[in-house]
């Protein structure tokens, strides 16, 4: 069941939704993950809107609008939980007059799959998704990437920034130094520690916890999992396991592994290659409009 509109939708988010509804075009909803803001999707949004779609990119609840504001008020990111964020996006989608496609990256990829499991999307693209309940692999590189947060239990209720060296390992391991530094200064913001702890303990929770995904819903819609071959934060073992669970659904489920790409694949200089894959997949499933 789709959640009622939460009170956390901001004026600018409602304005984006109203713009999408007024356009009459098929909407695409973008969901960012940890250590980014919704503004990181701008090149993707421009591409989709230049090719017949309309887009919205809500933030997580209480997200600052800019990187500068994020560092001025880092505590705004603290205490965010996976279901709270999911409900925020469900509230935004509930205001759309047309059923959207959803694209998410990292924890946004997990949330995108939760949204798909609610039956609110006609197609979903999940990029280097964080693990959900039932995804068992824990590769060493994923543990090292998460260590800046999970290494201290007190981080659960805090907003955590990555050092450049941590960002370089987890996000920019396939990039040259200049591009890695550019992405770090242009996009990196503090992030809530809680979702990483929620994902870490999900398989020990008999009730599933907030990272549970309904992979069996027959109304899930088409799903594409995109996986960066060299991702240290979400290695292939995690995305492959996610795909195997989702492939049991009666809907179309596909996976594409992208050679030589790391966790920064949605924001680095090769973003267009990834966006074209997502665009091509979603374009295959746009619902037909009635003549009336």
pLDDT (tens digit, 9 = 90+) per residue, 142-189? 999 999 999 999 999 999 999 999 999 999 999 999 999 999 999 999
pLDDT above 90 for 200? no
85 CB-near residues (< 8 Å, 6+ apart): 60, 61, 107, 111, 195
Residue 232 near residue 263, CB atoms below 8 Å: yes
pLDDT (tens digit, 9 = 90+) per residue, 99-114? 999 999 999 999 999 9
- Please tell me the distance from the alpha carbon of residue 106 to that of residue 152, in angstroms, as a whole number: 21
Average pLDDT, the chain: 94
Residue 66 near residue 188, CB atoms below 8 Å: no
C-alpha distances in Å from residue 255, one per residue of 103, 110, 138, 278: 14, 15, 20, 11
Closest CA to 65 of 51, 76, 81: 76
pLDDT (tens digit, 9 = 90+) per residue, 208-229? 689 999 999 999 999 999 999 9
pLDDT above 60 for 288? yes
Supply the pTM of this predicted model. 0.95
pLDDT above 90 for 289? no
Into which CATH architecture does domain 11-283 fall?
Answer: 3-Layer(aba) Sandwich (3.40)
Question: 237: buried, middle or exposed (CB in 10 Å: 19+, 13-18, 0-12)?
Answer: middle
Domain regions of the chain by residue span: 11-283
What is the chain's percent helix, strand, coil content, to nearest 5?
A: 45, 15, 45
3-state secondary structure (DSSP) of residue 256: strand
């Amino acid at each position: 069941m789709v959640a009622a509109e939460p009170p956390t939708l901001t004026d600018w988010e409602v304005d984006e939704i109203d713009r999408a509804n007024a356009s009459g075009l098929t909407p695409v909803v973008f969901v960012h993950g940890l250590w980014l803001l919704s503004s990181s999707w701008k090149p993707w949004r421009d591409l989709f809107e230049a090719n017949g779609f309309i887009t919205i990119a809500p933030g997580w609840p209480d997200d600052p609008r800019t990187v500068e504001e994020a560092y001025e008020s880092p505590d705004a990111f603290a205490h965010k939980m996976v279901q709270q964020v999911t409900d925020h996006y469900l509230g935004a989608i509930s205001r759309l007059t047309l059923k959207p496609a959803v694209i998410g990256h990292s924890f946004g990829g997990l949330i995108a799959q939760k949204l798909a499991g609610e039956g609110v999307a006609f197609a979903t693209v999940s990029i280097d998704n964080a693990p959900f309940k039932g995804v068992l692999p824990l590769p060493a590189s994923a543990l090292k990437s998460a260590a800046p947060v999970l290494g201290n239990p007190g981080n659960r209720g805090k907003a955590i920034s990555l050092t450049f060296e941590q960002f370089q390992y987890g996000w920019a391991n396939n990039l040259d130094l200049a591009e890695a530094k550019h992405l770090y200064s242009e996009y990196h913001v503090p992030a809530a520690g809680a979702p990483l702890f929620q994902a870490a303990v999900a398989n020990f929770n008999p009730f599933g916890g907030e990272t549970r995904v309904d992979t069996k819903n027959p109304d899930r819609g088409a799903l594409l999992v995109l996986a960066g071959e060299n991702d240290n934060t979400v290695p292939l073992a995690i995305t492959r396991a996610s795909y195997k669970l989702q492939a049991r659904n009666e809907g179309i489920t596909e996976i594409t592994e992208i050679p030589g790409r790391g966790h920064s694949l949605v924001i680095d200089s090769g973003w267009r290659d990834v966006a074209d894959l997502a665009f091509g997949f979603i374009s295959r499933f746009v619902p037909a409009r009635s003549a009336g």
